[in-house]
Amino acid sequence: MSYSKIMNTYQSTIKDTLKNRFLGYVKTWTTSDLEKADNGIMPSTQTQTEFAKKLAQELQDIGIKDVTVTKYSYVCARIPCSIGAETVPSVGFLAHMDTAMDVSGKNVKPNIVEKYQGQKITLKEGVVLDPKTDKYLAEATGETLITTDGTTLLGADDKAGIAEIITAVEFILKNKLPHGQIELLFSPDEETGHGMDKVPLDWIESKQCYTLDGGHIGELEVECFSAWKSDISFTGISIHTGSARPKLVNAVTMCSEFLNLLPKNEAPETTDGYQGFYAPLNVSGHIEEATCTVLLRDFTNTGIEEKKQTIDILARAIECKYKGSKVTVKHTQQYLNMKEELDKVPAVQEALTAATKAIGIQPTYLPIRGGTDGSRLTEMGIPTPNIFTGGHNYHSRQEWASLEQMCAASQIVVELVKIWSLAN
């Protein structure tokens, strides 16, 4: 059957399948663990391995024979090209299995709002979704919304992406649509920043891939933050607090003063668009030793270098102020802005633009104020822009997703396979 005869009925055909698949996924607990991931444990939680095995079985059940789960719990699936498409470029689709640690992802109880009519949505524990403060919610009138119950996050980041990819592939196979080779990769620990640390790069044959890990309908992303983290350690001098003067040097006080010196107008909550920031992530310690981690984000290498220098200067200032103390800083690169590399292969973005327009959506290219597995994969030589999923308010109890927007994202996957099948 041809694409043109069937794509106009795509959303109605897959809507229930996509919804049920997504609801099943979000009920599976897959929160990752930053501390374990930073210490080289991959995946950082056993629940991700269990989910990987579940996905692998599901892929086999829909007819994909070449499916493996690596020892690091990456799900890798390859669909050979259809007859006559042997010269068609291979294309890959990626999404991540873990959910963020910011809010509990255990015992997720999704709530469905059919044909949303613009009202406030009141959930448990005083959580309210209000269209007056959420412009995307205000635009979702008439859509089927999937929210949390107010006690957890939802997990649309990124289980919506997984559901959309698998539903699209199932549709292609079931309807015997012509296609080149298709590769699927579902990764662990994206939320910890380690999603591509153990990726089986040699397995990937596609020269172009796409992540489904974005937000509002129509939003496509080909540029992101360059990201570093700074780990700062403060060493003081401990002595009984009753006889502390003048010998005590309190590492907790040093850490607190350091964080208070960070630019207030360059914090996540005071910036947007192309503005970078410093984001204190965690603090721990006692009188003798204290540590903190600060995330550094900017869209330019110059901006990142300036932020690293600021951290170094502030650390030296604290060390000079507190006699006998020691402050050390370790800067670690996490990922880089993918724009420069993607600009070298315009066909990848052009295909995405064409696929989006083909389903009647005007694409909007926005910078990612974060990163994706795709930004890391782009660094590794495989250009990988990002596609919306229809999820909103990620990493929060206010998280919600639009089923209609999810259907559109899934449809773009099918359109991309079509477009690349014509590129031979």
Residue 369, classed as helix, strand or coil, is coil
Q: How many whole angstroms from its chain centre is CA 212?
A: 9
Adjacent-strand bridge partners of 292? 232, 283
**Catalytic hit among 33, 164, 190, 221:** 190
Residues across the chain: 424
Q: Please give the Cα distance from 20 to 240 (Å, whole number).
A: 61
Q: Is 399 a catalytic residue?
A: no
**Catalytic hit among 33, 98, 164, 373:** 98
SS (H, E, C) 103-118: CCCCCCCCEEECCCCC
Q: Please give the Cα distance from 348 to 121 (Å, whole number).
A: 39
Q: Is 190 a catalytic residue?
A: yes
- 8 Å CB contact between 97 and 52: yes
Tokens 């929060």 label which residue?
A: 396
- 8 Å CB contact between 3 and 177: yes
Helix 403-421 × helix 10-26 angle, to 10°: 120
Q: Please give the Cα distance from 323 to 40 (Å, whole number).
A: 36
Amino acid at 65: K
Q: Which residues are catalytic?
A: 98, 190
